[in-house]
Structure 1
């Protein structure tokens, strides 16, 4: 079905400290802005100085929350979460935030990312008496922080827990009176800080800050722990990594085009990737057509650079979403048509440059090409604003099996034949990195190269634990 040819990321997180404000409602608006990062479940936890109150459920943000829910969530700070599962099944018990009791009272946690050493840590914690209620790796983080909080303040406990964690984690954490934000030492997943007239907010993307009228201040640095309370924002240092490794797919596909990530506006990056693609490949064509919505910005850039008209040759049905009932087997070919439909007047008799962000599994590309041909396209050239995806991701993207990746087992010519295109063109790795300048060395491109930031086969540890005796490591 449409969507299985795309990578999916785990989730989006948001946090706000704004005493006197309707923090639950502001969090609700922010989660709306982050809905593209997860559509399986949503949740909000609110702290009022004495306790943490939670409401969460399966579904989209407006399906989970009603007016009565927001009225009941009153407090001085809140965290929110939208989820797409990569570790842990799509089940109500795994919805976040997670709320728990520890030596310092009630706390809540929401996590974006994926721990590459989750299985090892879970086994070690179970062996030392830990009890788990979910199958998410986020509960591992909860257990570690709770253990270290028995003898330390929160920033120190978070730094101690981070020494055990391998992989991607952007966290928003709520105590009864304060808000905390944590970004892993590699900076895999985005996290930023915003200023409100009477408070502070943190979010996976700056578009969530825009949604509530917060002013973007800066990105939270890799390895940084922010403590937010009545005194303002205090920065604490966590463990350091040998390098940064911001996920390049955030710029290619995951993030909203209007977000700013680590100093780059996502939409402008995508447009430049399209220009670079046109510099590398320019087959004879009459019109540029984007695959909505992910190929739109790159298609604009391609058309500008190539001097070709850009047309909406594929229309997307925006009302066919995650609850779409799949057709029966005999009607399976209609599945993509219910979500995308070609505009015959745009493509008939034309040589079409079809621009998309990536080709991962190859499950829908052939159907799109076939639709364009049936609508009268004289030729279809499939152009992608990223290199071939040939290796799994262990840091918060739903590709952990190389067998799922068509480019890992087929040559470009074989893929072209499978999807039925007249040409198939991938942006080079050099072309992908060019818009980032010096920041290119801080990007994780392992899914294109197999060059992981650290050895993922070594699931024991990367960083030296502060207190190894607690896990018996």
Structure 2
């Protein structure tokens, strides 16, 4: 297997200019039986770039050998170059965009991970997080496993390798039975492309087709970019296998009521994607409409915090009748490795990405719309920016409920002590960010925006634990004091 040298020391991690941002999880992509497998995978990863900007990788198989290219940085930093794609020959490939929720940002943690098993090569790309990964890792190491990375995904490789089953698919399913948490997996062997989704469907995975070749991807936007046809969502708990004999679907788990992650709709998925049969863009507008119905205040203009707050602000404006204005302009060309040499320059970081549109807000009562509030640091800076630009009143509205509990399924949240809503009252939060008023949409309101009558506490239809503390799976590793810290690596806000 071809592999690049470890050049992690030459890549600087992007400074955190957005202290309120939730970090994306990861994006996965796979294709089987296409002569341009690697190039198509690279394009698919471009569309999934929003799900992880730290690293990207592709593993391809040419019928005899596996070939790997994994790099820190954006997809375009590596995979837009012809010579790189030419080093990935073959008709099958899997790819991954990464933001680390477990494991350091070093090259050996970049996916897809690859191992030579007794039946041949095996590559795996994982979106999600295992809540018993540390426990399984410790058991595997105790039994002689030699780990090459610090990611929870490597546990899956070892579980497959240690299985005594004869058929690969049986070994793969046995490994899945051992893991807990959230996962959408795309795997490649010398004969098969395999996709798998956790039994609750927490993480998304869709099936498409291009020129007769099956495609697996985290979101439908990855199908759109290559002109592929959307076929269906991979079902929660489904394992689907593609090989020379066609497709085989396995349902190895007892049926459960699905609980997909509600943050896919609030924040993570691209607005042009369809997730679980719902338009993400339309859903976010509906969340803004519900927010207006629950929390409206007299105002002159509705201003989104770009870009994630735009659909909700459109919905809020439509429901309230107050005009929508781009009162904040985002600079999309901020360098990823911009060096901030002094504290005074670091404090100006928010202005590198966001600038006030004075003509739209001066002398006016404005309602700022954002999709979430985590620490409050960026919100505070944006409120001040609006006041400095002449806004008469600044009302902050959040199109999701207060985040009071950390996530352990692939969203990089702080531990509970770092979540503003977990440690402050609403009035304390309002005072901290400096707004004239602050309000969130209710949990029931989010469900109504999703087309539900409200949240049924006995049978919630979404993984909404960040708002409710109702975690949908066991949290085996969370019994350890340091585990939440290991599973939550959001950089401290400056």
User: TM-score normalized by structure 1?
Assistant: 0.94
- 2:93 aligns with 78
Which range moved further: 423-432 or 392-401?
392-401
Q: How high is the TM-score relative to the length of structure 2? A: 0.90
Q: Find out whether 1:350 has 2:364 as its counterpart.
A: yes
- What does residue 84 of structure 2 align with? 69
Aligned equivalent of 2:390: 376
> Is 1:56 aligned to residue 66 of structure 2?
no
Partner of 1:268: 282
Q: Which 10-residue stretch deviates more, 132-141 or 447-456?
A: 447-456
Gap regions ≥5 residues in structure 1: 461-473
Is the aligned partner of 1:322 residue 2:336?
yes
Distance of 2:103 and 2:220 partners within structure 1: 27
1:33 and 1:208 in contact (8 A); partners too: yes
2:462 is equivalent to residue 443 of structure 1: yes
1:315-359 Cα distance to aligned partner (Å, 9 max, x none): 111011532323511233311111100000000001001000000
1:322 and 1:447 map into 2 onto residues whose CA distance is 29
Q: Distance in 2 between matches of 1:459 and 1:378?
A: 46
Tell whether the 8 Å contact from 1:47 to 1:177 is kept in structure 2 after alignment.
no
How far does residue 155 in structure 1 lie from its aligned partner after superposition? 2.2
Instruction: State the partner residue of 2:307.
Output: 293
Give deviations 1:398-454, integer Å, cap 9, x for gaps. 125111100000001000000000010100001101133359732100000101113
Q: Deviations over 1:17-67 (max 9, x none)?
A: 123x21100001000000000010100110122221111110001112221
Unaligned runs of 5+ in 2: 1-15, 480-494
Matching residue of 1:207: 221
Measured on the aligned residues, the alpha-carbon RMSD in Å equals 1.5
Q: Write out per-residue CA displacement over residues 368-412 of structure 1, whole angstroms, 9 at most, x where no aligned residue.
A: 000000000000110110000000111101125111100000001
Q: Is the 8 A contact 2:302 2:368 kept in 1?
A: yes
Aligned counterpart, 1:123 = 138
Per-residue CA deviations over 1:189-241 (Å, capped at 9, x if unaligned) read: 11000011221101000000111111111110111001012332211112236
* Distance in 1 separating the partners of 2:474 and 2:204: 22
Structure 2: distance between partners of 1:152 and 1:319: 52
Number of residue pairs the alignment of both structures matches: 458
8 Å CA contact retained: 1:50, 1:177:
no
Shift of 1:457: 5.0
> C-alpha distance in 2, partners of 1:329/1:52?
47
Query: What is the aligned counterpart of 2:47 among 33, 45, 51?
Result: 33
Instruction: Choose the corresponding residue for 1:452, options 471, 481, 490.
Output: 471
> 1:96-245 to 2 correspondence within 5 Å?
96-148=111-163, 150-240=164-254, 242-245=256-259
CA distance in 2, matches of 1:400, 1:176: 40
2:350 corresponds to:
336
Secondary structure of residue in 2 paired with 1:294: coil
